[in-house]
Amino acid sequence: MALCLAFGVAPAHAAFINGQTYVPLADWAGANGLKIFWLRRGEEIAATNPTTRLVFDKDSNTAEINGIHVALSFPVANDHGNILIAQFDLDNTVRPLLFPSRYLKPKRIATICLDPGHGGRDSGNRVGGFFWHNEKTYTLQLALELRDQLRRAGFNVILTRTRDTYVDLPDRPALANRFGAGLFVSLHFNATQTGKNEVAGPETYCITPVGAASSNAQGEGADHGATTANRVEKNSLLFAYQIQKALVQNLGVNDRSVRRARWAVLCDAQMPAILIEGGYMTNPTESKRIYDAVWRRQMAAAIVKGIVNYQKLNAPKSAAPPAINHPPVKPPPSGTSTHPLRTSGSVGVSPARNTMMN
């Protein structure tokens, strides 16, 4: 994507591009104990420390965060060899994924609402020729498999449909809200237009931040106001990330990234909510897997792992032993923290700088 660059605003090399404040990646990385180096000069840059690896591509709004692709709201820019990143993306995507404990609103998850996409007169994607495959069939079969596995893992599970019935979109998150579900998971399978059959791999969507366009929009919708889902937006992002990571790592599939969209079923959810596009029915290899019960069982198992990993991140702090009758807690020596960006002890050393860069 070509950017209309209008540089020259701030002394600290910050810039204002297409209505967004951009900051030098090198400055932000330095303030957070990350070293940056080119993977491909002028094109692709990495920011790393012993526990974290971020990769950004010039003009791209997909970043790699610890091995998983994540959509940014605005493309990174290259100003004469300096990679710039939108402050909006640092605030809404990068930092929440690197510092989850600062952003999560911890809550115990008892009930999970599964939403098999489409149903009844709404077939969803239809792919085939001699025999037509309907998306609605496979979303339901995956949901029933996932329900059984989640119950075995100790969760209560409710479904927006258990048969081939039509359910209005607003009724789906409404059910989750009414039952006080802790998570909402909408299940879908993808399709491309003819001639793009090579596209494959899962995509996991969560709500778009206020002020940004969705991943599936052409820059449109940035003026969209806040939805109910934006109240727990950071939880949803971290949930989506754990699911995408579990799918990619456990199934060995192509990573089509964590993405943002204001899908109707996501907007009204009061709990962390995601929509999984579990793969492409238009890809010859992937479609065979989607239609195969053994593969769907493996996919369900991967989703359960992602949910359990999110639950660990999201565990209420009350599970920790009480502070009384314990000696005062000493800060760990530099380099021993398990926090992803605190290994060099450089986080927060300069409050003024932190305010600017974080």
The smaller minimum CB distance to Zn ion, of residues 87 and 214, is found at: 214
The smaller minimum CB distance to Zn ion, of residues 109 and 266, is found at: 266
* Among 263, 262, 279, residue whose Cα is nearest residue 139: 279
Question: How far apart (Å, rounded) are the C-alpha atoms in residues 327 and 330?
Answer: 9
Q: How far is the CB of 264 from Zn ion (least distance, A)?
A: 11
Interface residues for Zn ion in 188-207 (CB under 5 A)?
A: 188
The smaller minimum CB distance to Zn ion, of residues 56 and 263, is found at: 263
Report the residue number whose CB is nearest to Zn ion.
188
The smaller minimum CB distance to Zn ion, of residues 261 and 304, is found at: 261
Q: Is the dihedral of CA 113, 118, 124, 129 positive or negative?
A: positive
Interface residues for Zn ion in 135-164 (CB under 5 A)?
A: none
Interface residues for Zn ion in 19-38 (CB under 5 A)?
A: none
**Which region, judged by CB under 5 A, interacts with Zn ion, from 69-77, 107-115, 121-129, 259-267?**
121-129
**Which region, judged by CB under 5 A, interacts with Zn ion, from 143-151, 152-160, 182-190, 301-309?**
182-190
**Which region, judged by CB under 5 A, interacts with Zn ion, from 181-189, 278-286, 300-308, 348-356?**
181-189
Q: How far is the CB of 137 from Zn ion (least distance, A)?
A: 12
Quick one: three-class SS letters along the chain?
CCCCCCCCCCCCCCEEECCEEEEEHHHHHHHCCCEEEEEECCCEEEEEECCEEEEEECCCCEEEECCEEEECCCCCEEECCEEEEEHHHHHHHHHHHHCHHHHCCCCCCCEEEEEECCECCECCCEEECCCEEEHHHHHHHHHHHHHHHHHHCCCEEEECCCCCCCCCCCHHHHHHHHCCCCEEEEEEEECCCCCCCCCCCCEEEECCCCCCCCCCCCCCCCCCCCCHHHHHHHHHHHHHHHHHHHHHHHHCCCCCCEEECCCHHHHCCCCCEEEEEEEECCCHHHHHHHCCHHHHHHHHHHHHHHHHHHHHHCCCHHHCCCCCCCCCCCCCCCCCCCCCCCCCCCCCCCHHHHHHHC
Q: How far is the CB of 189 from Zn ion (least distance, A)?
A: 7
Pattern 100-119, Zn ion, x by CB under 5 A: -----------------x--
Examine residue 340 and tell whether it contacts Zn ion (CB under 5 A): no
Q: How far is the CB of 265 from Zn ion (least distance, A)?
A: 10
Q: Classify strands 111-116 and 183-190 as parallel, antiparallel or unpaired.
A: parallel
The smaller minimum CB distance to Zn ion, of residues 203 and 255, is found at: 203
- Exactly one of 119, 124, 182, 209 binds Zn ion (CB under 5 A); that residue is 124
The smaller minimum CB distance to Zn ion, of residues 188 and 259, is found at: 188
Question: How far apart (Å, rounded) are the C-alpha atoms in residues 212 and 225?
Answer: 10
Burial of 44 (0-12, 13-18, 19+ CB in 10 A): middle
Interface residues for Zn ion in 295-334 (CB under 5 A)?
A: none
**Which region, judged by CB under 5 A, interacts with Zn ion, from 60-68, 83-91, 124-132, 217-225?**
124-132
Pattern 209-228, Zn ion, x by CB under 5 A: --------------------
The smaller minimum CB distance to Zn ion, of residues 63 and 266, is found at: 266
**Which region, judged by CB under 5 A, interacts with Zn ion, from 120-128, 195-203, 247-255, 285-293?**
120-128
Q: How far is the CB of 190 from Zn ion (least distance, A)?
A: 7
Q: How far is the CB of 249 from Zn ion (least distance, A)?
A: 24
Binding residues for Zn ion (CB under 5 A):
117, 124, 188
